[in-house]
Amino acid sequence: MLVTILGGIIAQGFISQRLIVYSDAAATANNIVSHKGLFKLSLSIYLIEMIANIVTTALWYILLRPVNRTIALAAAFIDLAGCVIKTVARTFYLTPLWVLGAASTSSGIVNPALHGFTPEQLQSIALVLFRANDYGAAIAMAFFGFSVPLNGYLIFRSTFLPRWLGVLAMIAGLCWLTFLYPPFGARVFMFTAPVGLLIALVMIFWLLVFGVDERKWRDQAGVGH
């Protein structure tokens, strides 16, 4: 969970938002071409973020299946679907580098697939692809809006984690459910994101410092001590 959060903050907040200027295709193209290494690094961090998210999904399923295997499995599948959608969306994040590479060649466009496009048109195409990446990520957030409350419900029902953590998780899920209508989710993101992030940090702190009551987990899972 911590790797997922840090990866998203670094790749999105410290790299992507500084390179991509959605109001200026030319400025975005110049930033990407001038900082190719940094841009590629942000993609690598995004992929690490998603791998960590998938691992977290598996670990939550293992932890919560003693409470209710069916709900835990449903939450895991929904969460995994969101991870897949978000990972596929990153293809639209990488492709602009290839498009802008053709736009920036001094000898003209060398890739036949892009023949006939002017550099200005390629810059606009790149910006559209970045938007497609954002929309894909927004759709994934809607999936997380269903999986997180399900896990929160299982935490609330469990005997090995405090109930208030489950309540917080369900509140966090409601924040991500706003992306069922992406324009609304984007509009309130500045309010929902801090709430969701704070709840995630509280969850991480509890798991790192206090952990799970292992005896109660074993009792509920029906395994020996």
Cα–Cα distance measured from residue 6 to residue 122, given in angstroms and rounded to the nearest whole number: 32
Please, are residues 200 and 168 in contact by the beta-carbon 8 Å criterion?
A: no
Q: How far apart are CA 116 and CA 103, in angstroms?
A: 11
Q: What is the CA angle 114-119-123, rounded to 5?
A: 90
Average pLDDT over every residue of 115-131: 88
137: Cα within 13 Å, side-chain hemisphere: 18
On whether the CB atoms of residues 147 and 82 are closer than 8 A, the answer is yes
150: which 2 tokens?
Answer: 């399900």
pLDDT tens digits for 68-82? Answer: 999 999 999 999 999
Residue (of 166, 127, 110, 133) closest to 50 by Cα position: 133
Element (H, E) at 140: helix 119-157
Q: What is the C-alpha end-to-end distance of the chain, expressed in Å?
A: 27
- Residue 224: how many CA atoms within 13 Å on its side-chain side? 0
Q: What's the rounded mean pLDDT across residues 34-58?
A: 95
Q: Which helix (H) or strand (E) holds 141?
A: helix 119-157
194 class by beta-carbon count within 10 Å (0-12 exposed, 13-18 middle, 19+ buried)? exposed
**pLDDT over 70 (residue 134):** yes
The per-residue pLDDT for range 137-186, each reduced to its tens digit, is 999 999 999 999 999 999 999 999 999 999 999 999 999 999 999 889 98
Mean pLDDT value of segment 193-221: 94
Question: Which pLDDT score is estimated for 37?
Answer: 92
Query: Which pLDDT score, from 0 to 100, does residue 112 have?
Result: 61
pLDDT confidence of residue 225: 46
Nearest to 122 by CA among 44, 186, 29, 31: 29
Max avg pLDDT among 15-19, 98-102, 110-114 = 15-19
Is residue 151 within 8 A of residue 111, CB to CB? The reply is no
